[in-house]
């Protein structure tokens, strides 16, 4: 019996699964929203949420850990410079997984994965705060 084993194998070898989740993490950090199958999205949440938690504390050790997991310097810098400060006040729940129907070819359940606080919303809030500061 496999009680308590919480890893989805996704019908892949461990190296393929690790590479796929690493690529999906980099894509999500780059574009801030991706479309994928529902089981992959749920497994991606277990990978990306600890990464964003790392990004909230910008230390050299955390940068090295993030680079070890992401293997993309551009995404590591974006994680610590933009995404980490954006989620500084939030204690978790950085992703939103929305079901988006079924794929046409094999009827697989699809999902839209987005960061809960998108860049446009954060930029809009900063603009409104600047307007209030100018008026005061």
Model pLDDT for residues 32-72, shown as the tens digit of each residue: 999 999 999 999 999 999 999 999 999 999 999 999 999 99
| CA max distance for the chain | 65
Q: How far apart are CA 32 and CA 114, in angstroms?
A: 6
pLDDT of residue 120: 67
Angstrom distances, CA of residue 65 to CA of 14, 23, 73, 76: 20, 16, 12, 10
pLDDT of residue 2: 76
pLDDT of residue 60: 97
Q: What is the mean pLDDT of residues 98-120?
A: 93
pLDDT of residue 92: 94
CB contact set of 136 (below 8 Å; sequence gap of 6+): none
The DSSP letter of residue 89 is: T
The DSSP letter of residue 88 is: T
Q: How far apart are CA 84 and CA 2, in angstroms?
A: 36
Q: What is the mean pLDDT of residues 128-136?
A: 73
Q: Are strands 95-102 and 33-37 parallel, antiparallel or unpaired?
A: unpaired
pLDDT of residue 68: 97
- Residue 61 burial (10 A CB sphere; 0-12, 13-18, 19+): exposed
pLDDT of residue 119: 67
pLDDT at 112 over 80: yes
Residue pair 29/101 in contact by the 8 Å Cβ criterion: no
The DSSP letter of residue 93 is: -
CB contact set of 29 (below 8 Å; sequence gap of 6+): 48, 51, 70, 75, 78, 79, 83
Q: What is the pTM of this model?
A: 0.85
């Amino acid at each position: 019996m496999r009680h308590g084993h919480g890893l989805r194998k996704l019908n892949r070898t461990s190296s393929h699964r690790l590479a796929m989740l690493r690529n999906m993490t980099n894509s999500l950090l780059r574009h801030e929203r991706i479309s994928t199958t529902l089981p992959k999205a749920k497994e991606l949440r277990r990978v990306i949420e600890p990464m964003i938690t790392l990004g909230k504390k910008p230390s050299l050790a955390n940068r090295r850990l993030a680079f070890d997991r992401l293997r993309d310097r551009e995404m590591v810098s974006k994680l610590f410079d933009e995404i980490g400060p954006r989620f500084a006040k939030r204690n978790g729940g950085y992703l939103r997984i929305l079901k988006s129907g079924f794929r046409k070819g094999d009827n697989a359940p699809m999902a839209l994965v987005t960061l809960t606080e998108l860049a446009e919303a954060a930029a809009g809030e900063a603009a409104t705060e600047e307007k209030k500061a100018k008026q005061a």
